[in-house]
Chains A and B, each alone.
Chain A
Amino acid sequence: MGIISRGFGGRRRESVPGLPPGQYLTHDFPVLSAGPTPRIPLDRWRFTVTTETGEKTSWDWKEFQALPAEDVTVDIHCVTKWSKLGTTWRGVSIETLLENVDTVAEYSMVHSFGGYTTNVPLEDLLDGKAWIAYQFDGEDLHPEHGGPARLLIPHLYFWKSAKWVNGLQLMPEDEPGFWEAAGYHMYGDPWREQRYQGD
């Protein structure tokens, strides 16, 4: 479409390599949530993996903290257009959590305290592509940003990195989660600009 805005572009931001299409760089850490921020006491925190056959494996906070953790530095991209580069996190890889879980499922639903859900193909959670993160920038993850622990899956738009996670449900078929049912893309690859249904 050939619409040119005369007089636009003079205030453009620094051009940065590593930005997906349609994104701009921010140095803040904006917050996006559908509702109030839940405060989850650590003694009530629990994370449960449920397989397609209903088998459950779960960890309380202490058991979760005892799992091998990794420090990762990644770029994150929010569907509302901001990107933040070189963010540092500490968390447990999903691969670690699934080590002793027997499944042939190809999809998953990530569940959160408060009922939020998001769907992710299982292979996108493996091979060092996703973590349950509990530290950001060297500090315990603040509740506003998803603490005690959130999913970190930086190669997809950041709404997929669900906050306040409490479970991973493995599924044979894909199903939409919370934002996906509200018009957002089922997969959400920022490099293909999959913001909304049909992109």
Chain B
Amino acid sequence: MARTAVSGRLTWRAATLAEARWESPTARTLVLDVPDWPGHLPGQHIDVRLTAEDGYRAQRSYSIASAWQPGGKVELTIQRLDDGEVSPYLTDVIEVGEQLELRGPVGGWFVWRPQQTAPVLLVAGGSGLVPLMAMVRARAVAGTRQPFRLIYSVRTPEDLLYGDELRRRVREDQGLDVHHVYTRKTPDGWPSPAKRIDVAALNTYGWPPDFGPDCYVCGPTTFVETAADILVALGHDPRRIRTERFGGTS
């Protein structure tokens, strides 16, 4: 089962791409078969290492998108960055049946454990949804009833990750609420114009601070700075706000 701390050396493992699917025009989920995977907690990441034919190597870190179940696979959702070096290979080049190297899981802070009893607020910016989605999925796997609220900021409806799955989970996973913030373009008939995440969104769709929620904020640096600052200003305990920032892993 999932373990919280890493013991011994994290060795590189061969992973085989078992399945791949597009989540949006620029984001692809890789379903990886990793023999003897020790399990992981939602929010943890792995390192991927690629070796070119001439021996050149590059490594990048990616959040795990899937919840762990014994015998299960490891899923990553990769956002293509057009000027990137590794992400375009993972979104557009690698084919089912091919292998890559990975090691992990890494990270014991930006994680949610089913034993946590507080309500949870997840605040995602763009592909920052990925580790938070792992938490939503792990909640369902654990069959717990902790109330979860997800506020998901995304540029346009076309950029939504896991759109169908989130709609289904809102219906089926009891106690999960999802609110979207569209920053560039809204769906037809959306009640408000496109705007960035703000005090109103976090106040209306988050938890009141006196509920003592555990808050997880993940996204680009400016997004995380803004959202975390607002949560502190609204009265949330800074020690209960866990953040993960990325400048884009390319």
Contacts and interface: CB of A to CB of B under 8 A. Distances in A.
| A complexed with B | yes
Interface string B224-250: 010011011000001101110111010
Interface in A5-42: 5-9, 11-13, 22, 24, 26, 28, 30-38
Interface stretch (B58-66, B112-120, B167-175): B58-66
B88 A1 contact: no
Contact of B14 (A3, A28, A36): A3
A162 B221 CA distance: 18
Interface string B52-79: 1110111111000000000000000000
Main secondary structure of the interface of A (DSSP, over half): loop
A158 to B, nearest CB: 13
A157 B115 CA distance: 32
B6 interface: yes
B154 to A, nearest CB: 21
Interface stretch (A53-61, A67-75, A130-138, A191-199): A191-199
Interface stretch (A88-96, A119-127, A175-183): A175-183
Interface residues of A, number: 40
A87 interface: no
A36 B228 contact: yes
A197 B6 contact: yes
Contact of A37 (B12, B94, B225, B247): B225
A186 B49 CA distance: 23
Nearest to B228: A36
B178 interface: no
What is the interface residue range for chain B against chain A? 35 or more
A144 interface: yes
A80 B47 CA distance: 9
B61 A81 contact: yes
A37 B229 contact: yes
B243 to A, nearest CB: 5
Contact of B56 (A9, A31, A182, A183): A9
B51 A28 contact: no
Contacts of B57: 22
A3 B100 contact: yes
B8 interface: yes
A115 interface: yes
Given A114-B238, A181-B108, A80 B52 contact: no
Nearest to A38: B238
B22 interface: no
Q: Which of A11, A13, A22 counts the most chain B CB atoms within 10 A?
A: A11
A103 B53 CA distance: 53
B1 to A, nearest CB: 17
A11 B80 CA distance: 13
Contacts of A35: 228, 238-239, 241-243
A181 B108 CA distance: 8
Given A35-B242, A198-B10, A22 B231 contact: no
Contact of A81 (B9, B56, B59): B59
A30 B246 CA distance: 7
The 3 closest A-B pairs by CB, nearest first: A9-B52, A198-B9, A182-B108
24 contacts: A5-B52, A8-B50, A8-B51, A12-B52, A22-B57, A28-B247, A31-B225, A32-B245, A34-B109, A36-B232, A36-B243, A37-B228, A80-B61, A80-B249, A81-B60, A82-B247, A114-B239, A144-B221, A182-B107, A183-B106, A197-B5, A197-B6, A197-B8, A198-B10
